[in-house]
A and B are shown apart, each in its own frame.
Chain A
Amino acid sequence: MVIVLFGVSLLTYAMIFVTPGDPARTILTQQMGGQTPSQEAVEQFRVSEGLDDPFTVQYVRWMGDVLQGDLGQSYYSDQPVTDAIAQRLPNTIILAVASMLVAIAISVPAGIASAVNPGSRIDYTAQFGALVGVSMPNFWLGYLLIIVCSLWLDVFPVAGVGGLEHLVLPAVTLGSGMAAVIARLVRTAMLDVLDAAYIRTAHSKGLRERIVIYKHALRNALVPVVTIVGLQLSYVLNGAVVVEVVFQRPGLGTLLVDAIFARDYPIVQGVTLLIGVIFVLTNLAVDLTYSRLDPRIDLGGEPT
């Protein structure tokens, strides 16, 4: 895991290093209100920020700081990157959790309903919905929802953060795409499980259909679903970038996008590293959930 994280940090750093665009020039232009900065000023900025040093030196210096919990400072404001992230992170986490909840609330019942009545009208509707959900790009759905729900119906605010009402549209936008993927997965997993002999046993005990499905079948079907839900978290973080821009939510996504446009490298690096860390930690959490869901998966590696 440490190696993976190390790789992530190296890659993000390297990618930014080779990205075209001179941060010194861009930043100074902006600081001077659009005037082209003098060559000396540019040189001076490069030296003071250490931009002239070779890649390895820069990387090691940055890594050393990161290990001490210091992600550097934004080129623009004197705000440390950690502060900037800490300010925005809660918004993104709330959005991620809310959209996950939306996704699960839609997809699990839909997937189960499809699997229980394969070939029925419910199944086709759910599958068609899933197809639409997968195919629809986030930013487009986001704007559609703004037009319909905010401008026409005036139910939810267009943009910004605040109460729950600000969260609904972004969460639905982000959650629906995920719901589509998860619903298909739940359907396949459930169809598989419903054929199992232990489901017949559960029926033969005289158990109600609903309990057979929600207890005996669902629990088994959840194992593959949890994996994907875990992996989908990266999708949420990706999607958050777009959705936050669409809805003007101050979160990690907007922070990242703004920083990229402004060539504010310390922030870009900090955010990317954080996303990498979150991703790795989620995967760990998924592995731990496995063994809770399916006792046969023993982390010690005992064969079943």
Chain B
Amino acid sequence: MTDQLLRVEELHTRFDTDRGTVHAVDGASFTVDRGEIVGVLGESGSGKSVTARSICRLEEPGKIANGTITFDGTDLTTASKSTLRQIRGNEISMVFQDPTETLNPVFSVGEQIAESVRIHEANGRQRLLDFLGVPLFRERSAWTDARDRAVELMDQMDIPNPESRLSAFPHEFSGGLRQRAVLAIALASDPTLLIADEPTTALDTTTQADILQRLRSLRDERDVGILLISHDLGVVAQTCDRVVVLYGGQVMESGPVNEVLTAPEHPYTRMLLECSVRNSNPGERVRSVSGTPPDPIGGYEACPFADRCRHATTACREGYIPTTELDSEHRLACVEAPLPADDALAHRQDALTPDGGEQDDST
């Protein structure tokens, strides 16, 4: 618990739709420290992305109904717009999932990186005409410097020939290059917290490995705290220090990666592990999970996973599920815990280790 950067407590983010109120995030709590990568793991629809966006206060059209998000002493849920802008420009950066969509198609990549540099340096002073590039109002020397910095950043991100690519447009980049450009934009503000929402999902395996390596070196070299959202167990296992397992907008289990992913206590985490391709024996069918995440309209009275859980009892379907602390780090929201050792998980120990993340880190 040293040097806590971000503390999310009892976060509730809701969306009003025609069919009712969707409780996308329903009381999630977790923390991120400096120099630590925390993974948020869950299926689609479990509230991962909304959690990420809520932290940046980009949850619209959703609304934060309850809870606090404390970043470096500031509560972001009550912070003013200009404070939020300052924090986004200087402290928290975000990388979103699909780099095809997250870069503005009509501006050159260099312009978009340089803009981020300018925002960071202008320190809250942003004039419309300057940013629009209106000739007499554009601060030319500042933009030239920002472009130089953009070249450096692109170079650091291993984008080949950064000078010549400065004026290239996003559609002229490959997927991997785009995501590197997005990272360059995110890092232009020299953030202390990086929120990466499925940063590698749209990428091929080689590029994925490279981007993840970059995240790890950010943690090690710049002491950046990283919140890595992923549905991919492998990515989390390889990259993260701690993991938060999210389901139905609630935290099911959280703790150090090597505990949670090797000895999961929550039936949902166990189920995710069983379904991982990595954990299957060759020649054997990969297990699939039956059912889909529940429709989170109206929120949950009890455990959101109860309907799919094979250990579910009436207690699971009724009333509040308390969070128990297995030790200071490892937390669990399940009334049935501790569970009997699951025979389906018998092969998990030997299956996760050969290829699993913990070893990657030490090499």
Chain A residues in the interface with B (C-beta under 8 A): 196-198, 200-211, 214-216, 219-220, 293-296, 304
Contact = CB atoms under 8 A, between A and B. Distances in A.
Given A197-B98, A304-B171, A206 B119 contact: yes
B126 A208 contact: yes
A172 B65 CA distance: 47
Contacts of A207: 85, 89, 115, 119, 126, 131
A216 B170 CA distance: 14
B104 A206 contact: no
Contacts of A295: 105-106, 108, 169, 171
B94 interface: yes
B192 interface: no
Main secondary structure of the interface of B (DSSP, over half): helix
21 contacts: A197-B101, A198-B101, A198-B102, A198-B103, A200-B53, A200-B96, A201-B96, A204-B93, A204-B94, A205-B88, A205-B189, A206-B89, A207-B115, A207-B119, A208-B128, A215-B132, A216-B107, A219-B107, A220-B106, A294-B105, A295-B105
Interface residues of B, number: 37
Given A204-B96, A295-B171, A296-B169, 14 more contacts: A196-B101, A197-B102, A198-B102, A198-B103, A198-B104, A200-B96, A204-B58, A204-B88, A205-B189, A207-B119, A211-B128, A211-B132, A215-B132, A296-B106
Contact of B85 (A201, A208, A304): A208
Interface of B: 53, 56, 58, 81, 84-90, 93-94, 96-98, 101-108, 115-116, 119-120, 126, 128, 131-132, 169, 171, 182, 185, 189
B131 A211 contact: yes
A215 B111 CA distance: 12
B126 to A, nearest CB: 5
B99 to A, nearest CB: 9
Contacts of B98: 197
Contacts of A202: 104
A293 B56 CA distance: 30
Contacts of A214: 128, 132
Given A201-B185, A219-B107, A296-B171, A206 B102 contact: no
A211 B122 CA distance: 14
Q: Is the interface of A mostly helix, strand, loop or mixed?
A: helix
A197 to B, nearest CB: 4
A191 to B, nearest CB: 12
Nearest to A217: B104
Nearest to B125: A208
Contacts of A205: 88-89, 93, 115-116, 119, 185, 189
Contact of B103 (A201, A206, A208, A209): A201
A218 to B, nearest CB: 9
A203 B89 CA distance: 9
Contacts of B106: 219-220, 293-296
B285 to A, nearest CB: 36
A101 B276 CA distance: 61
Nearest to A213: B128
Nearest to A194: B60
A254 B139 CA distance: 49
Contacts of A216: 104, 107
With a 10 A CB-CB cut-off, give which of A207, A216, A220, A293 has the most chain B CB atoms.
A207
A295 B108 CA distance: 9
Contacts of A201: 94, 96, 102-104, 182, 185
B126 A197 contact: no
Nearest to A294: B106
Contacts of B96: 197, 200-201, 204
A206 B86 contact: yes
Contacts of B103: 198, 201
A169 B132 CA distance: 32
Among the interface residues B97, B106, B115, B119, which one has the most CB atoms of the partner chain A within 10 A? Answer: B106
B290 to A, nearest CB: 32
A205 B90 CA distance: 9
B171 A200 contact: no
Nearest to A222: B106
Given A204-B56, A206-B119, A296 B105 contact: yes
Contacts of A204: 56, 58, 88, 93-94, 96
Contacts of A296: 105-106, 169, 171
A269 to B, nearest CB: 43
Nearest to A304: B171
